[in-house]
Chains A and B, each alone.
Chain A
Amino acid sequence: MKTTHHAGYRKTMLLGFILLAGAAVAGISLGKYGIHLPELVAIFSAKLHGSVDRSMEIAAFVIFNVRIPRIILAAMVGAGLSISGSALQGTFQNPLVSPDLLGVSSGAGFGAALGILLTGGLGLFTPVLSLLAGLMSVLLVFLLAGTKKGGGTLSVVLGGIIVSSIFSALISLIKYVADSSETLPAITFWQMGSFANVTYRDIGIAFIPIAGGMLGLLLLRWKINLLSLGDEDCFALGINPHTTRWLVILFATLTTAGSVTVAGVIGWVGLVIPHICRRLVGVNHGHLLPASALIGATFMILVDTAARSLTSAEIPVGILTALIGAPFFAVIYRRGRKEG
C-alpha cells in the first residue's frame, strides 16, 4: 500500500543521491586550482587506462590526493553528524538536541588538545586519544546517570552537561599551559573544525567509528520511533527503553566522536539537517535517518567546497556551518511555528 508519504520518501532519496553526485563533482572541479569538466573526464579515463599524461599530473594529484579524500571525509562526517542528530532528537523526544548533547565534542576536544600538547599533533596518537576521550565522556555520563532507577532522559541530559563542562574546563587548562606560538594556535584551529590537509589516513581512522555507528543507528531506526513516544509506551510496545536508549547513545557517540576526531568541532549540521529532512520525508525515523545521512553528506561537501573556494584564504568549515546553519535554523523554526 502506497501513501503520499512513502512516495515522498523515495523521491527525496533519489533526488538526494543525484544531488550528492553533483556535489561530489562540484567539489572535485571547484577550488583555487580549477579543473574544467572535460579535463576531469580526461583525467579519470586516463587513470582508468593506467597512465596519466605529464601535462595532467598536477591536476591528477589535486584530484586524487587532495580533493577526493577530502570529499569522502566531508561526506562521512556530514552524514554521521546528521544521522546522530536525528537519532538523539528522537531518543530524547526533543527536536533541539544536537549530537554533542552528551559531551562527546568536549571529550574528544580534550583528547585532541592533550594530544597536540604532548606530541604536536603528529602521528596517530592525537586522533586515537581524541576518539577514546570522546567515548569516555559518554561512559562518564552513563556512570553519573546511573542505571538503577535513573537512566531517564533528564538524568542523562544532566550528566551530559556536567561532563561537558568538566572537559571544557580541562581544554581551557591545556590552552592556558600551551606554548602560545605553536601549540595554542594548533589547538584553536583544530577546535574550529576543518577538512584542510585531510589524507586517506584520516579516512582510515574515522571509518570504523563513523560507519559502525551509522550502521547501528540505521538498524535501530524503527526502535527510535518507539523511544520517542516515552518510556511507558516503550513498555506497552514491547521494548525495554533503558537498554535501547543506551544502545542509540552508544552508536551516536561512536559516530560523533569519529567525526570530531578527524575534523574538529563542526556545529549546527547535526541540529539543522534533521529539521530540513523532517520537512522532506516526515517525522518517521525509519525514513528520517537514511534521509538525514544522505542530505547531511551532500550539505557538508557543498559547505566544505565553499569554505575553500570563497576566499583566497580557507575559512574553517565549522565557522561556515555556524554562519549558515544558525540563521537557516531560525527561518525554518519560525516557519514551522506559523504552520503549526
Chain B
Amino acid sequence: MEKILEVRDGCFSYAKGRPLLQNINASLDGGQVMAVMGRNGIGKTTLIKCIVGILSWDSGYSTVAGRQSQRNRPMKEIGYVPQAHRVSFDYSVRDMVVFGKAGHSSFFAAPSRGDYELADRMLYKTGIYELRDSPCNELSGGQLQLVYIARALINEPKLLVLDEPESHLDFRNQIRLLKLIQGVAAEQSIACILNTHYPNHALRIAQRCFLLGEGDYITGDTKQVMTDANIQKFFGVVSHSVEFQYQGETVTSFSFLDEG
C-alpha cells in the first residue's frame, strides 16, 4: 500500500512555553482509517488542523502524498470535512457540493456542467441524491454532514480528514456515516483520519488508532490501543469491554462505568 500521510516530529503550541502537541510521529497508508481519540481540549482538532494546513507546525512537518503541507496553501490532495455547521446563505445541496471544485480550479474560473455532473455522482455515492435541490439549511444535521463529505470527495482526495463527523447524529445516522467512511476508504483506497469520542466507532472502522494524552500519545493497531487500561490512563474513566459474536465476527464493545 502506498504511504499517504506522514507526520515527522510535529510540535505545536498556541502559547509560548505551553506545548500542546509534542514530537508527533504518525503515518497512514491509502485505504486505512485512523481514529484520533483523547479528552476534550487535548488537541485532537489542533492535530488534524496541523495536518490539513489550517495551522502550521512549530517544528517538524507533515507530508501528504509526498508533498509537505504549508499554512495558507490548501492542498488538493486533502479533503477536509469540518463539523457540520449552518451558513448565512441558504445554498442548494448541489451548489454546496460544486463549491468543492471552485477552490481548486483556476482563480477566476466558473464551475462547468461537468462539475455539476460530478457533484451529482458524489451525491449519489453518499446516498443523498434525492436531496440535491434542497436548501442546505433545511437539512438535518446528519444530511448536512453527508453534503460536506460529498463536497470533500469531489476533488478525489488522497486523504480524507473528518472532524467529529458523527457528533450530533442519531444511532442510525452514525452507523450509516461510519459505513460510508469505511466504504470510501476501502473502494478508493483513500486514507482517512477522523476525530471521535466513541471507542466503539474506532474499533468498528479504524485499523489504526491515535490516542492523544497530555504530552504523550500512543498509536498503533486499534485493537491493541483501545483497552480498558488505556481508557483509564488517557480518559480517567473506568470502563469494561465485552466481546461477542455478530454475523461471524468478533465485536468489542465498551461500557463506561465511573470516573477514576
In the complex, are the beta carbons of A228 and B74 less than 8 A apart?
Answer: no
Give the interface SS of chain A, mostly helix, strand, loop or mixed.
helix
Task: Answer whether residue A238 sits at the interface, using C-beta atoms and an 8 A cutoff.
Answer: yes
Distance (whole angstroms) from the CB of B129 to the closest CB of chain A: 12
With beta carbons under 8 angstroms apart, the residue of A5, A228, A233, A236 that contacts B89 is: A228
Asked if A222 meets B88 with Cβ closer than 8 Å, knowing A237-B100, A239-B103, the reply is no
In the complex, are the beta carbons of B87 and A236 less than 8 A apart?
Answer: no
Asked if A235 meets B108 with Cβ closer than 8 Å, knowing A1-B117, A90-B89, the reply is no
Instruction: Flag A200-221 by CB within 8 Å of B: 1 or 0 each.
Output: 0000000000000000000111
In the complex, are the beta carbons of A239 and B92 less than 8 A apart?
Answer: no
Nearest-CB residue, chain A, relative to B133: A3
Task: Answer whether residue B235 sits at the interface, using C-beta atoms and an 8 A cutoff.
Answer: no
With beta carbons under 8 angstroms apart, the residue of A219, A237, A284 that contacts B91 is: A284
Asked if A226 meets B52 with Cβ closer than 8 Å, knowing A240-B73, A282-B92, the reply is no
Using a CB-CB cutoff of 8 Å, which residues 219-272 of chain A contact chain B?
219-223, 225-226, 228-230, 232-240, 242-243
Nearest-CB residue, chain A, relative to B107: A223
Task: Answer whether residue B120 sits at the interface, using C-beta atoms and an 8 A cutoff.
Answer: yes
Distance (whole angstroms) from the CB of B105 to the closest CB of chain A: 8
Count of chain A residues with a beta carbon within 8 Å of a chain B beta carbon: 33
Asked if A228 meets B92 with Cβ closer than 8 Å, knowing A240-B72, A240-B74, the reply is no
CA distance A229 to B89 in the complex (A): 8
In the complex, are the beta carbons of B72 and A222 less than 8 A apart?
Answer: no
In the complex, are the beta carbons of A236 and B82 less than 8 A apart?
Answer: yes
Pick the most buried of A228, A233, A239: most chain B CB atoms within 10 A of its CB: A233
Pick the most buried of A229, A236, A242: most chain B CB atoms within 10 A of its CB: A236
Task: Answer whether residue B104 sits at the interface, using C-beta atoms and an 8 A cutoff.
Answer: yes
Count of chain B residues with a beta carbon within 8 Å of a chain A beta carbon: 39
Nearest-CB residue, chain B, relative to A288: B89
Asked if A283 meets B89 with Cβ closer than 8 Å, knowing A1-B120, A4-B133, the reply is yes
In the complex, are the beta carbons of A222 and B111 less than 8 A apart?
Answer: yes
In the complex, are the beta carbons of B87 and A229 less than 8 A apart?
Answer: yes
In the complex, are the beta carbons of B133 and A226 less than 8 A apart?
Answer: no
Number of A-B contacts defined by CB within 8 Å: 90
In the complex, are the beta carbons of A239 and B89 less than 8 A apart?
Answer: no
Using a CB-CB cutoff of 8 Å, which residues 130-167 of chain B contact chain A?
133, 151-152, 155
Task: Answer whether residue A199 sits at the interface, using C-beta atoms and an 8 A cutoff.
Answer: no
CA distance A196 to B80 in the complex (A): 54
Asked if A236 meets B74 with Cβ closer than 8 Å, knowing A5-B133, A219-B108, A229-B99, the reply is yes
Asked if A225 meets B74 with Cβ closer than 8 Å, knowing A4-B133, A282-B92, A284-B91, the reply is no
Chain A residues near B120 (CB-CB < 8 A): 1
Task: Answer whether residue A65 sits at the interface, using C-beta atoms and an 8 A cutoff.
Answer: no
CA distance A90 to B99 in the complex (A): 14
Task: Answer whether residue A94 sits at the interface, using C-beta atoms and an 8 A cutoff.
Answer: yes
Chain B residues near A228 (CB-CB < 8 A): 87-89
In the complex, are the beta carbons of B85 and A230 less than 8 A apart?
Answer: yes
Instruction: Flag A58-97 by CB within 8 Å of B: 1 or 0 each.
Output: 0000000000000000000000000000000010011100
Task: Answer whether residue A286 sits at the interface, using C-beta atoms and an 8 A cutoff.
Answer: yes
Instruction: Flag A32-68 by CB within 8 Å of B: 1 or 0 each.
Output: 0000000000000000000000000000000000000
In the complex, are the beta carbons of A237 and B82 less than 8 A apart?
Answer: no
In the complex, are the beta carbons of A95 and B88 less than 8 A apart?
Answer: yes
Chain B residues near A239 (CB-CB < 8 A): 74, 103
CA distance A226 to B98 in the complex (A): 10
Using a CB-CB cutoff of 8 Å, which residues 44-60 of chain B contact chain A?
52-54
6 A-B interface contacts by CB (under 8 A): A5-B133, A228-B89, A237-B100, A240-B72, A283-B89, A284-B95
Closest 3 CB pairs of A and B: A238-B103, A237-B103, A236-B80
Apart from A1-B116, A221-B110, A223-B102, list 19 A-B contacts with CB within 8 A: A1-B120, A3-B94, A93-B87, A95-B89, A222-B99, A222-B111, A225-B95, A228-B87, A232-B54, A236-B79, A237-B99, A237-B102, A237-B151, A239-B74, A239-B103, A242-B72, A283-B90, A284-B95, A286-B110
